[in-house]
Amino acid sequence: MTTSDAQFTAESGRGGEFVRQANRFTGRPEPEAGRYRLVVSLACPWAHRAVIVRRLLGLEEALGLSIVDPIRDEAGWRFTNHPDGRDPVTGLAFLADAYRASDPTYSGRVTVPAIIDLRSGHVVTNDYPQITLDLSTRWTALHRAGAPDLYPERLRAEIDAINADVFRDVNNGVYRCGFATTQEAYEAAFDALFARLDALEERLAGQRYLVGDTITEADIRLFTTLVRFDAVYHGHFKTNLRKLTEYPVLWAYARDLFQTEGFGDTVDFDHIKRHYYVTHDRINPTGIVPKGPDPALWHTPHGRG
């Protein structure tokens, strides 16, 4: 079984609940322009967070970006989307090669996002929640002039609290629905997901962003699930009580973010749909990729200025 982030596996005997794997790289790269490479899948919501943060903070020149093929098979994330089947900067054919070079005994999953040290070719970190926070708080000397503060110290407790709720019920909740192996587990995840979406709809009716009056880490983490919701999760993961477009406030909020530089211009619906519908052969054995929904809807007026 493959999930789009490859961070989670179904834990047997616990009703299809998803859990983090403990075996991962947790280094914290020292800010140094040109030394590291951020490896992502544009399909993966957890990797997409790092792409957005990198763009918002103006770190494109300081931290290079390598993009894997959206189709992840038994060999793992690969670079077959490049002409010679290798990433032109790292020289990798498979991301797994960097994992094995970093730790020959590594037995965890090969995941994105990952940051690779170009000097050694080793994976420094694949700790996806910490990567974006470090880019915001430890890489400040390399931020563009006027870069936003995505994790302001005075709001961190509130951001952390809402991130925990959103992760449990929404970010991870869609996976708990999609990969549930019992009706009971599916319905529990389904109910928690839509209860949380209802609460977010209410919260955002009175404010433009989740925390404070500017975009923060909390908005980025919610957005990467919302932007995939109707295209993938609603049908593929059976999260079909309502579409995102049927939530007046959440749909307007999501379009507001999408139309903000750094959000919509980092979304690749082709990669997203091909990854989920082709990779998850247990859920979609035919591998047919749906044509809809119409991406033009994301460019319609949102009215939240």
Give Cα 211 to chain centroid, integer Å.
Answer: 20
The owner of tokens 């038994």 is: 74
Q: Does 44 participate in catalysis according to the annotation? A: yes
Strand-pair partners of 231: none
Q: Answer whether 126's CB lies under 8 Å from 47's CB.
A: no
Out of 36, 99, 151, 175, the active site residue is 175
Strand-pair partners of 2: none
| Alpha-carbon gap, residue 59 to 193, rounded angstroms | 33
Q: For residue 159, give the H/E element and its range.
A: helix 156-166
Residue 28: both structure tokens together? 């914290």
Strand-pair partners of 20: 8
Residue 296: both structure tokens together? 């033009």
Out of 36, 44, 247, 276, the active site residue is 44
Q: Answer whether 204's CB lies under 8 Å from 217's CB.
A: no
| Alpha-carbon gap, residue 175 to 239, rounded angstroms | 10
Q: Answer whether 227's CB lies under 8 Å from 175's CB.
A: no
| Alpha-carbon gap, residue 41 to 48, rounded angstroms | 7
Q: For residue 190, give the H/E element and its range.
A: helix 183-204
Residue 78 DSSP code: B
Q: Does 186 participate in catalysis according to the annotation? A: no
Q: Which residues are catalytic?
A: 44, 175
